Amino acid sequence: MPRTQKLLLVENVESLGIVGDIVNVRNGYARNFLLPRALATKPSDELIQQLQGKRAEAQKMLAEQRRMREGLSQKLQGVEIKLVRSCNDQGILYAAITQQDVSNELNAGGYAVKPRDVRINQVMKRIDTYEVHIRLDSDLDASVKVHVQADRKLDLHRDEPAAAPAAAEGAEGAAPADGEGRGEKKSKKGDKAAKGDAAPEAKAEKAEKGEGKFGGKAEKKAEAKPEKADKGEKKSKKA
């Protein structure tokens, strides 16, 4: 089953065609929009002939609309508008400028521009001057300037004095931290050196203790030998 079908427009349909046009549309678009609203029907030679007069009127209307858009496009060239908005002290808006905002201001100045005709190519959320394009037709493009201004006098240097002392305090706090870090490293090295010096002393003490033990045993053995010699002499005298 084909996904599209041909229909005859019996009314003008924006972005699709004018009355009397035969268009190829998707089945869903035809079933859910065009046919229920009686904007199109199945084409036939008889209906096409009946719609000739209505089609001629639609063509005249389109030509008139085209002339109006051309004239509007020429008038818009070089136009400048001003939008006053609330913002913080850095010039950042609390809400970005939209197509509707630009359209409303242009309409207030006598330029019939729809929101969809406004082309915003960047986020407009700062106090600044922007270039915005107005696309009235595929080949009709006008450029206007939008001056976004604050609703009060801005204090752009308000946060700078507070930021400078904070930076100085941060720098002062960083220096002792480095010194303390180095002092800690030196103290660790000193502890290691002290441990290194203490090691030979500990070994010497152990050696002295060892000598004391062995020396004491030797002395006891030496004292025991004369006692045994005295006992031997006594035995010999008795004999």
Q: Summarize pLDDT for 184-203 with one digit per residue, the tens.
A: 555 555 555 445 554 555 55
Determine the pLDDT at residue 235: 47
Interatomic CA distance for residues 143 and 149, integer angstroms? 19
Q: Read off the pLDDT of each residue in 205-212 and give the average, rounded to a whole number.
A: 49
Name the E strands within the chain. Answer: 4-9, 22-26, 40-41, 80-85, 118-119, 129-137, 140-150
Rg of the Cα atoms in the chain? 51
Please state which CATH number belongs to domain 75-150: 3.10.430.100
Interatomic CA distance for residues 135 and 53, integer angstroms? 31
Nearest to 40 by CA among 19, 26, 66, 54: 19
> What are the extents of the domains in the chain?
4-74, 75-150
Confidence band for 1, pLDDT divided at 50, 70 and 90: confident
CA 229 to chain centre: 103
Residues in the chain: 239
Find out if CATH 3.40.5.10 is the number for domain 4-74.
yes
Q: In the predicted model, is pLDDT for residue 165 greater than 70?
A: no
Determine the pLDDT at residue 154: 86
Determine the pLDDT at residue 234: 46
Highest mean pLDDT among 34-38, 214-218, 222-226: 34-38
What are all long-range contacts of 89-95, with beta carbons under 8 Å and residues at least 24 apart?
89/154, 89/155, 89/156, 89/158, 89/159, 90/156, 91/126, 91/127, 91/128, 91/150, 91/154, 91/156, 92/125, 92/126, 93/124, 93/125, 93/126, 93/127, 93/148, 95/125
Higher pLDDT, 20 or 232: 20
Model confidence, pTM: 0.58
CA 9 to chain centre: 48
Interatomic CA distance for residues 11 and 6, integer angstroms? 15
Higher pLDDT, 16 or 176: 16
